[in-house]
Amino acid sequence: MTVLTGWGLTPKISTIVSESGAGEIPDVVKGSTTVTPRGLGRGYGDCAVSSRGLTLLTSRLDRIDEIAGDTVVVEAGVSLDRLLARIMPEGFFVPVTPGTRFVTIGGAIAADIHGKKHHGDGSFGQHIEWLEILGANDRIIRATPHEHHELFWATIGGMGLTGLMIRAAVKLLRIETSQISVLTTRHENLDALMQAMMDRDTTHRYTVAWVDTLASGRSHGRSVLWAGDHALRADLSHRASRHPLRYEVGQRLRIPSAIPISAVRASTVRVFNEVWFRRAHRRPTHSTESIAKFFHPLDGVGSWNHLYGPRGFVQYQFVVPDSHSELVGNFLQTLSTRRVPVFLSVLKRFGVRSQG
């Protein structure tokens, strides 16, 4: 038996684990009435944690085919990190990425992940050409938006409940460099931020905002907004332009697993928020950042979930329409009044929902 958790470190469940390649999976799952597929375990909840039946690790589903046109075929256990290391030197990027590159393609499809350009590019499932799924009848079915379309769209965002994903064809985005041109602006309140985010919908490909959940009074909703676009080769310095598609990643710090109490509390978060807000200049600033720094800043801190201590943490996500945007302010007011220590509170613009 193996003890597993989600990225939030709760709940902790003992389960039977198997690790199999594509050719072995049909035989492995045949004798199990319940099979839970699990990628890298980065889901914040308990979606890949089950005490029943068999938990099937997908790490050996790790094949990446050659890029054909703007599409690549990958097995479900391939991580975005491995995929990016393969495709970026060839001038491609994934169509959607969450805040970490340590998620699998299967997990990205099952959760229909979103990124910093949902308002324009939608979610991950809208960039899938076909899926191969092993169903409960031991058959592998290739589903597309046109053939077996009900299975296809039930699998997009289906959290692994329609079968075990084996392979998928993912459409890619062409890029000139591995850098992002970033506009950083500081906003003194929530209304100013939300107006700026709507303005950036048409001027920048990516937007994401950090909001201080503990600020109150005139500073209620104070925030920092980052808007970015893929840098062109002409945007780079002479030195950077010599290797325009270099895949730059790194880890600056690693959090030990033995922290006895949570380091995330109102007092520490208040200090962090003050520093984070003040480090952004009053006036708009332009910079060039690596893809890893812009999209996956927390990946630079290994096992950052351990900051919450042995009890773990819960993450809330919610979406509201523009016509009821005051609900965001109401929610922030509740967090501020109750002094809920939110380490990172992020606001993004969403667009049309997928069919998943």
pLDDT in tens, 180-203: 999 999 999 999 999 999 999 999
Q: Residue 29's pLDDT is what?
A: 81
Checking if the pLDDT of 315 tops 90, the result is: no
Per-residue pLDDT, 27: 82
Q: What is the pLDDT of residue 51?
A: 86
User: Can you read off the two tokens belonging to residue 111?
Assistant: 């959760």
> Is the pLDDT confidence value at 224 over 80?
yes
CA distance 169 to 153: 15
Distance (Å, whole) CA 258 – CA 324: 43
Q: What is the pLDDT of residue 217?
A: 86
From 31-40, 102-111, 324-333, the region with the lowest mean pLDDT: 31-40
pLDDT of residue 47: 87
The band of 293, judged by pLDDT with boundaries at 50, 70 and 90, is very high
Q: For the segment 72-87, what is each residue's pLDDT rounded down to a tens digit?
A: 999 999 999 999 999 9
Closest CA to 88 of 77, 100, 101: 101
- pLDDT score of 252 more than 80: no
Q: φ, ψ for residue 152 (rounded to 5)?
A: -60, -55
Task: Say whether 172 sits in a helix, a strand or coil.
Answer: coil
The two three-digit tokens of residue 49, written as one number: 């944690």
* Pairing relationship of beta strands 13-19 and 346-347 according to DSSP bridges: unpaired
DSSP string, 111-148: TT---TTHHHH--GGGGEEEEEEE-TTS-EEEE-SSSS
pLDDT above 70: percentage of residues in the chain: 100
Residue 23: predicted pLDDT: 82
Q: In this predicted model, what pLDDT tens digit does every residue of 45-62 receive, in sequence order?
A: 888 998 888 999 999 999
- Domain 71-174 is of which CATH architecture? 2-Layer Sandwich (3.30)
CB 333 within 8 A of CB 197: no
**Weakest mean pLDDT among 51-55, 107-111, 222-226, 283-287:** 51-55
In contact, 115 and 296? CB cutoff 8 Å = no
The pTM for the full model equals 0.93
Residue 343 tokens read as: 């380490």
Residue 251 above 80 pLDDT?
no
